[in-house]
């Protein structure tokens, strides 16, 4: 098995695994009030939303959702300008936590987002109480924007602007990132 992490598009065949991961205590703790409707997401794919599975070699280890928050129909992010992206990311099994996989996953997701020259920034919204996630995003170059309530969750909004991402990427030049299409 390769030690390389890649992203591949998630499919309806991944639903059982996603549902299992969604029931893991560490995933629930990070996202307790946001039930996913996997069947709907895969039955009617939307051009404003992407689902990715992170794989270590051929073993699925995590999930990433990338959305265009200006196009998302529930307006979860409110009235936001065009050319942003927002991410949800998690490691599926607790045994895969603290292995550096999340760092590679977010780097892959950011490279994918910023491959579109129109994208100006990426947003994330970890729970306000999730200080480990705050430190993780800050290490990736995200900066705190505001505390905000999304539904029944108190969150901390973070933003990574293209210029800050480019500076971070320049410091890690030489790393190989792969996204399957």
Q: What is the Cα 46 distance to its own chain's centre?
A: 17
| pLDDT score for 168 | 76
| pLDDT score for 169 | 75
Residue count (the chain): 181
Tell me if 151 sits within 8 A of 133, measured CB to CB. no
For residue 116, give the 3-state DSSP assignment.
coil
User: Which residues of the chain fall short of a pLDDT of 50?
Assistant: 1, 174-177, 181
| pLDDT score for 177 | 47
Instruction: List the alpha helices (DSSP H) in the chain.
Output: 15-22, 25-30, 38-43, 101-114, 131-139, 162-171
d(CA 148, CA 128): 9
Tell me if 176 sits within 8 A of 3, measured CB to CB. no
d(CA 167, CA 165): 5
Instruction: List the alpha helices (DSSP H) in 73-123.
Output: 101-114
Surface-to-core class of residue 135, CB atoms within 10 Å of its CB (0-12 exposed, 13-18 middle, 19+ buried): exposed
pTM of the complete model beyond 0.85 = yes
Rg (CA), the chain: 15
Token pair, residue 82, equals 């065009």
Token pair, residue 128, equals 């306000």
| pLDDT score for 173 | 56
Task: Give residue-wise pLDDT tens across range 3-49.
Answer: 799 999 999 999 999 998 988 878 878 877 667 788 888 888 889 99
| pLDDT score for 117 | 96
When the pLDDT of each residue in the chain is averaged and rounded to a whole number, the result is 89
């Amino acid at each position: 098995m390769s030690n390389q992490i890649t992203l591949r598009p998630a499919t309806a065949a991944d639903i059982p695994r996603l549902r299992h991961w969604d029931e893991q205590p560490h995933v629930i703790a990070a996202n307790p009030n946001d039930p996913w409707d996997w069947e709907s997401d895969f039955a009617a794919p939307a051009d404003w939303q992407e689902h990715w599975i992170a794989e270590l070699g051929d073993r699925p280890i995590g999930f990433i959702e990338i959305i265009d928050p200006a196009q998302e129909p529930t307006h979860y992010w409110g009235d936001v300008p065009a050319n942003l992206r927002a991410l949800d990311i998690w490691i599926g099994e607790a045994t895969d936590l603290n292995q550096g996989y999340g760092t590679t996953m977010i780097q892959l997701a950011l490279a994918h987002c910023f491959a579109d020259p129109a994208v100006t920034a990426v947003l994330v919204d970890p729970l306000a109480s999730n200080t480990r996630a705050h430190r993780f995003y800050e290490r990736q170059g995200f900066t705190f924007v505001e505390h905000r309530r999304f539904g029944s969750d108190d969150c901390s909004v973070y933003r990574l602007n293209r210029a800050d991402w480019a500076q971070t990427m320049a410091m890690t030049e030489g790393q190989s990132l792969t996204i399957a299409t």
